[in-house]
């Protein structure tokens, strides 16, 4: 892939704001002069990623992830550095004249053929629904108030009973084994046939927008399973995907809220009434991976699962998973056991939107669930109900909410408020502290001197000159590489600063992370040449000590007398230098 010139990278970086770019991917909040977000690069429960609009860099104080705007896009979307530059350039309205940079999202090369197979198949299904063979399917969708525009938006298609998917893919050079492995075809004896036949097809996309699977729905009243999904494969894992995720991203960030439903039609129905910050679990229980994806969009989560008992059970399960990552969702419970799609069709969008506006708190939901399971004529049941709620009461911070909840619980159960209060323990809130992983690393004075020298090389030409003229080498491998790169950058550009230098390093994540860590060392803004020279003197002392240790080790194992004498003379010379 052609390397993008540094000047082009610098020009793009100066036309975008890293805060705005990251805000397209994560909810952010301002604290002082910087912004903070939940770090997507580790299991973060508290915003620990700092974004500096001044330096145009991000740094996680827990896992150490750091870099510039291109590094963020590269690592978040798992694409190459060049592709990340291209994506950011597009956001800035810049047309890069680099012919070899692919204008599509990155895919692991060993899976690329599978993405291509799904892309071809999806377009084939979409074409089918536009033909004369698609009229019954179109009629079915239109009767369910799914317009042609919505069909186009969600790339809804149609599979026919003609086995043409296999034939089409074979004509494109794909093998029957590949078709079967990825789940687009099945094999019986030596006969290859399409997996999906006579079904309305809903393509399922991954977080980057690639089609990775399908769900096919019956529409002619066939006596078959209502939905058939693609089988699990190397690129399709339901436990790691949420339907409509890519499409909902920007809407969720604009609304600062994400709605989670169960099914495809629930998402599509909400879309038709203007509610577009919505994703679906596709009928599976919420997994840790689902929860992490949801948190990337917003911590303001509304769960709206089916209104039946199964939906209540799924809601409770989802709450448990979300609470593990410090998300307290709000809940919508629809009456008459209806799912969101059915509810809007039967009772109207206004009633649903009213539910959305007045979603119940997590506490209220838990109270309602507990109350529904309680026989209020059974004292043991009442006791169990109250005790099951105690943990929730202890989490309430607002004294007004606490008092009103206790009074309501007292009225429902007939148990005096003083008795309920006596069961509450004053559990102190644990304050989370962001602890940098770097703070625990112990270093000797020689390595610290190298770090301090490199720190000032990022800030002043005098430090660069002193390094070039007086330092033979740095003992730390990363620091040595950084110092050499700083020298190269300075000779090409005549200046140095941490933001532009990080761009110069392009996709070298390890060095960029180290550069940003060195830059953040708490040292005086200004420094004299005498202080820099002291650092260099300490570095020299460290080099001499290292050489003395090496020579002594050689003396201890050397058997040849003449060679041993030479080593002893070298040791004496080094010790004289050490004493100066």
CATH architecture of 441-579: Orthogonal Bundle (1.10)
pLDDT tens per residue across span 230-240: 999 999 999 99
In this predicted structure, what is the pLDDT of residue 578?
66
CB under 8 Å to 370, separation ≥6 — which residues? 385, 388, 389
Residue 82: predicted pLDDT: 85
- pLDDT at position 178, please? 94
Give the start-to-end residue ranges of the domains of the chain.
6-91, 109-236, 244-357, 365-422, 441-579
- Domain 109-236: which topology? DNA primase DNAg catalytic core, N-terminal domain (3.90.980)
Q: Is the pLDDT of residue 481 over 50?
A: yes
Q: C-alpha 516: how far from its chain's center? A: 21
What share of the chain has pLDDT > 90, as a percent?
46
* pLDDT for 428 beyond 50: no
Cβ neighbours for 374, distance < 8 A, ≥ 6 positions apart = 381, 382, 384, 385
| Tokens at 236, concatenated | 């399709």
pLDDT at 137 over 60: yes
Is residue 234 helix, strand or coil? coil
Indicate whether 2 pLDDT > 80.
no
- Do the Cβ atoms of 561 and 527 come closer than 8 Å? no
Q: How many residues in total does the chain contain? A: 580
Count Cβ neighbours within 10 Å for each residue of 537-562 and write b for 16 or more, e otherwise: ebbbbbbbeebbeebeeebeeeeeee
Strand partners, 330: 302
For residue 531, CA distances in Å to 30, 452, 577 come to 37, 10, 21
pLDDT at position 110 is 65
Fold of the 6-91 domain: DNA Primase; Chain A (3.90.580)
CA distance 416 to 396: 19
pLDDT score for 439: 45
Please state whether the predicted TM-score (pTM) of the whole model is above 0.75. no
Higher pLDDT, 428 or 580: 580
Note whether 6-91 and 441-579 share their fold. no
- Is the pLDDT at 288 greater than 60? The verdict is yes
d(CA 364, CA 528): 63
Query: Which range, 98-102, 108-112, 286-290, 540-544, has the best average confidence (pLDDT)?
Result: 286-290
User: pLDDT by residue (tens digit) across 67-119?
Assistant: 999 999 988 877 788 888 988 998 888 877 655 444 444 444 568 899 999 99
d(CA 223, CA 433): 58
User: CA 66, CA 515: separation in Å to the nearest integer?
Assistant: 9
- Specify the CATH architecture of the domain 244-357: 3-Layer(aba) Sandwich (3.40)
Please name the residues in contact with 410: beta carbons below 8 A apart, sequence gap of 6 or more.
Answer: 416, 417, 420
In the structure encoding, which two tokens stand for residue 501, read together?
């230098």
Q: How confident is the model at residue 563 (pLDDT cuts 50, 70, 90)?
A: confident
Looking at mean pLDDT, say which of 144-158, 206-220, 244-258 comes out highest.
144-158
Q: According to the per-residue pLDDT averaged within each range, which of 215-229, 304-318, 396-410 is highest?
A: 304-318
Contact 417, 503 (CB under 8 A): no
Which region among 10-14, 29-33, 77-81, 335-339 has the lowest average model confidence (pLDDT)? 77-81
């Amino acid at each position: 892939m052609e390397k993008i010139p540094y000047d082009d990278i610098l020009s793009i970086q100066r036309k975008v704001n890293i805060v705005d770019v990251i805000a397209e991917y994560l909810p952010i909040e301002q604290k002082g002069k910087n912004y903070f977000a939940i770090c997507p690069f580790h299991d973060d429960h508290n915003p620990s990623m700092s974004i500096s609009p001044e330096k145009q860099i991000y740094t996680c104080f827990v896992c150490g992830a750091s870099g510039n705007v291109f590094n963020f896009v590269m690592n978040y979307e798992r694409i190459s550095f060049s592709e990340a530059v291209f994506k950011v350039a597009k956001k800035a309205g810049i047309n890069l004249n680099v012919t070899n940079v692919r204008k599509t999202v990155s895919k692991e090369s060993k899976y690329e053929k599978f993405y291509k197979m799904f892309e071809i198949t999806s377009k084939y299904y979409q074409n089918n629904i536009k033909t004369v063979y698609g009229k019954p399917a179109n009629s079915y969708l239109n009767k369910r108030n799914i317009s042609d525009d919505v069909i186009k938006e969600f790339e809804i298609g149609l599979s026919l009973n003609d086995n043409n998917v296999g034939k089409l893919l074979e004509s494109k050079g794909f093998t029957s084994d590949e078709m079967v492995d990825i789940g687009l075809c099945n094999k019986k004896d030596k006969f290859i046939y399409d997996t999906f036949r006579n079904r309305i097809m809903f393509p399922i996309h991954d977080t980057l927008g690639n089609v990775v699977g399908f769900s096919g729905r019956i529409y002619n009243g066939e006596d078959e399973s209502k939905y058939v999904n693609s089988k699990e494969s190397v690129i399709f894992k339901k436990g790691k995907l949420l339907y409509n995720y890519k499409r909902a991203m920007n809407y969720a960030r604009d609304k600062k809220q994400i709605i989670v439903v169960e099914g495809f039609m629930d998402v599509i129905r909400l879309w038709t009434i203007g509610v577009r910050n919505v994703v679906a679990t596709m009928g599976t229980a919420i997994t840790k991976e689902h929860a992490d994806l949801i948190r990337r969009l917003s911590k303001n989560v509304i769960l709206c699962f089916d209104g039946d008992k199964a939906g209540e059970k799924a809601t409770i399960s989802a709450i448990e998973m979300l609470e593990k990552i410090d998300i307290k969702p709000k809940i919508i419970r629809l009456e008459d056991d209806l799912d969101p799609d059915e509810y809007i069709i039967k009772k109207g969008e206004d009633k649903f939107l009213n539910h959305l506006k007045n979603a119940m708190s997590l506490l209220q939901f838990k109270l309602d669930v507990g109350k529904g399971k309680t026989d209020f004529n059974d004292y043991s049941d009442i006791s169990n109900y109250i005790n099951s709620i105690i943990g929730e009461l202890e989490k309430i911070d607002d004294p007004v909410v606490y008092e009103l909840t206790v009074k309501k619980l007292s009225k429902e159960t007939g148990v005096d408020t003083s008795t309920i209060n006596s069961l509450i323990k004053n559990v102190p809130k644990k304050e989370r502290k962001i602890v940098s992983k770097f703070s625990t690393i112990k270093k000797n004075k020689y390595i610290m001197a190298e770090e301090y020298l490199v720190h000032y090389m990022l800030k002043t030409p005098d430090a660069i000159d002193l390094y070039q003229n007086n330092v033979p080498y740095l003992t730390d491998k990363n620091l040595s590489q950084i110092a050499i790169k700083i020298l190269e950058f300075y000779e090409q550009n005549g200046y140095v600063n941490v933001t532009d230098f990080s761009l110069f390093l392009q996709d070298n994540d390890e060095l960029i992370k180290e550069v940003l860590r060195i830059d953040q060392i708490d040292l005086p803004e200004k420094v004299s040449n005498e202080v820099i020279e002291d650092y260099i003197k300490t570095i020299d002392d460290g080099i001499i000590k290292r050489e003395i240790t090496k020579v002594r080790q050689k003396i201890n194992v050397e058997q040849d007398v003449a060679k041993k004498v030479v080593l002893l003379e070298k040791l004496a010379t080094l010790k004289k230098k050490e004493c100066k």
